[in-house]
Amino acid sequence: MSAEITPQTKGATTSAPATLTGRLRLIGPGIVLALASVGASDMITTMNSGAEYGLALIWVFTVGIILKFVLSEAVSRLQMSGDRSLLSHLTSFGGRLFPTLFLIAELLVGLFFGAGVIAVTTNILQALFPVLPFWPTAVVVLLSAAILVGIGRYGLVEKAMIGFGVIMFFGILALAISVFQGQEAQAVAVETIAPTFPNGSIITVMSLIGGVGGATGILAYSFWIREKSWRDAEWKPVVRIDLFISYALVFVFAVAMSAVGAFILYGQGFTIADNGSLFAIADSLVTRIGEPGRIVFLISFLAVVYTSVLGGFSGIAYVTADCIRVLRRFPYQDKPEHEMSAKSVEFRGTIVYLSIATLVIMGLGKPVTLVLVYAAISAFILPVLAIALLVILNRSSVPAALRNKEVSNVLLTICFLLFGFLAVLQVKESVMGLLG
């Protein structure tokens, strides 16, 4: 039946480094997680917050980032507790039930994910190079991501994303520093730096906490560290540094985008409703800091969105392929011959599915009913994940060094309550959308 959880070093080629320098040299999956977790919607969320509240809601994003760090760290400990995936662990609670539910959620995520990010990436390229036609450019962008991820070499994806990540990081920082120039921007910073509660609305706060970072990336992180052969408790310090850097990058992104929104738009009653508004902001930067400011914004925007394409395709492919593997092989999914592989038919089949779904949805537009169903189902990924981690990581079969401590249990309980509440709100919104 289900395999016993025991420490494994299968696939490990080296021992974990004992020095900080040695650990820092190995970081990578956390950067992939950071870049996969933020996209155009997060730019809209953070810049809107800056436009409406200045810098006063940075504390809200900070809370959300801390909670997602907690989930990611717990997921990694579970992965290192034995050579089993999270989805394989979940078969202990009802056999094929949870892998089936996660598969449905991921297939729905995959149905709509590519269309949105590929279209935005293409629009950014057209803004930078107006001569480019939409559809041929979109197909090239899609194929570049599908081929890079579909080759099945995680290291290649990681290197590509780190390269784009450097561009994004320095571009966004340069932009935030540029718009901070002048007495008006400095006055906004002084006026809004104190933390506040938006309009007394707990729902607004909780929604913003849940807004930065993605659920699929957290699930996929366990596969990415597995590809690096970080497979037992010895690697826990490396994983924690990797995740600390990951969420530090997400924090810098959130603060920088809030600052851009605050210093450009605060007090003007301007709302960033969609991706088109982001292009309008790029154009408005010409009068404020010149054409180079517009180009820096667009290039940073491009890096944000294209890395979310690569990270999203990789993450969805790993999670979906593992759902299929577990469902096909249960209860023998943990035998060595059934090991999860990025070169498997399931993984590459998911890439083909993502590519076809992207082209179909881009051609048809987003069917409203399916979008609402997708939003409702995917909203439950994080609360289900939190409760699963609370149960599994308190078992005596998990190595003591990887079990939950009191702080972890408290924070995972908060994650469950918060993201569970947000899931209920999302279901209510989806039902109202279907009825109305």
What are the chain's domains? Answer: 20-435 (1.10.4160.10)
Is the pLDDT confidence value at 200 over 60?
Answer: no
* pLDDT at residue 213 in the model: 57
* pLDDT at residue 284 in the model: 77
Is the pLDDT confidence value at 5 over 50?
Answer: no
* pLDDT at residue 398 in the model: 92
Q: Name the average pLDDT for the chain.
A: 86
pLDDT band at 344 (very low <50, low <70, confident <90, very high): very high
pLDDT band at 141 (very low <50, low <70, confident <90, very high): very high
Q: Higher pLDDT residue, 216 or 327?
A: 327
Contacts of 256 (CB under 8 A, 6+ apart): 172, 173, 175, 176
What is the arithmetic mean of pLDDT over 407-414? 96
pLDDT band at 403 (very low <50, low <70, confident <90, very high): very high
Is the pLDDT confidence value at 8 over 60?
Answer: no
Most confident of the following: 117-126, 171-180, 187-196: 117-126
What is the arithmetic mean of pLDDT over 313-339? 93
Is the pLDDT confidence value at 373 over 50?
Answer: yes
Whole-structure pTM value:
0.90
Is the pLDDT confidence value at 371 over 70?
Answer: no
What is the arithmetic mean of pLDDT over 280-284? 79
Q: Is residue 72 a contact partner of residue 413, using CB atoms and an 8 Å limit? A: no
